[in-house]
Structure 1
């Protein structure tokens, strides 16, 4: 006979499995510049002003920059663009890059790296001619992909 207690136990187990399966991604900042505010935005909304930010689900088309006199969306500054998403098919996971496409321009040394998956994958931009940045929209070879679930990202300024 199927009892209420067995049903309650099954429902509780289902909630635990669902909680474990939830997609999350955390973006953290290391600011070694001694000035400026690390900023993370998505769709024009500020998600973080320096503290770690955790998305509960995909983080799509976010931008990050050290606000040292930048425009509202990082104009005039070195900008990191990222989409952090669990892959649903080969090649559909996370992608991050550094952009210097106008109106963005080099402002401070900036780098990023994945952690909790794809450890060691990332890029650094230490001067205005950095080969690891987008200068035009066709520079797609500078994107750094990660095909790991729940990957996190650290962004460093002035390293």
Structure 2
């Protein structure tokens, strides 16, 4: 292979690689309660105990809650935030986040979330056990908040 062909092949490879942007999502916490430890878990792994964490790729079926000492390992007995953060590959297949009070989860502290970086302003807050912004039964799908943009980030706040 000639030097010019090698150079051309290398240049095409570099440009193709540079054109691919990695998917990334950041989750941050604000705990205004003065007690408890924010947790972010997925697949049985704890990814954060209150610090900001960035994922290089999708975050699928994650849960977040404020561990007050009375929560189970998966947030049982507490207000739960459920999220999937991923770039959409087809219409409607992007990120989705919600608040769940479906038993065994129950209202424990004011909890809320909001997207940032993309879909700014989309989110929800739950300030009491009867809030209309949370799942109370599995059919309450209208409370899910979607974001169909790439590289969306999520801010989670407790006691705001």
TM-score tier after normalising by the smaller chain length: over 0.9
Cα deviations by residue, 1:47-84 (Å, 9 ceiling, x for unpaired): 11111111111111000001102110001110100011
The separation in 1 between residues aligned to 2:109 and 2:18, in whole angstroms, is 44
1:1-159 residue pairs with structure 2 within 5 A? 2=4, 4-18=6-20, 21-69=21-69, 70-159=71-160
Tell me, which stretches of 5 or more residues in structure 2 are unaligned?
none
What is the TM-score of this pair, normalised by structure 1?
0.93
Worse overlay, 48-57 or 113-122: 48-57
Cα deviations by residue, 1:89-118 (Å, 9 ceiling, x for unpaired): 111111100000011100100000001111
What is the TM-score of this pair, normalised by structure 2?
0.93
The separation in 1 between residues aligned to 2:126 and 2:49, in whole angstroms, is 21
Tell me, which stretches of 5 or more residues in structure 1 are unaligned?
none
The separation in 1 between residues aligned to 2:17 and 2:31, in whole angstroms, is 38
* Aligned alpha-carbon RMSD (Å): 1.3
The separation in 1 between residues aligned to 2:9 and 2:89, in whole angstroms, is 32
The separation in 1 between residues aligned to 2:33 and 2:124, in whole angstroms, is 18
Cα deviations by residue, 1:23-48 (Å, 9 ceiling, x for unpaired): 11111101111111110000111111
Question: Partner of 2:129: helix, strand, or coil?
Answer: coil
Q: How many residues align?
A: 157
Structure 1 residue runs of 4+, over 6 Å off? none
How many angstroms does 1:12 deviate by? 3.1
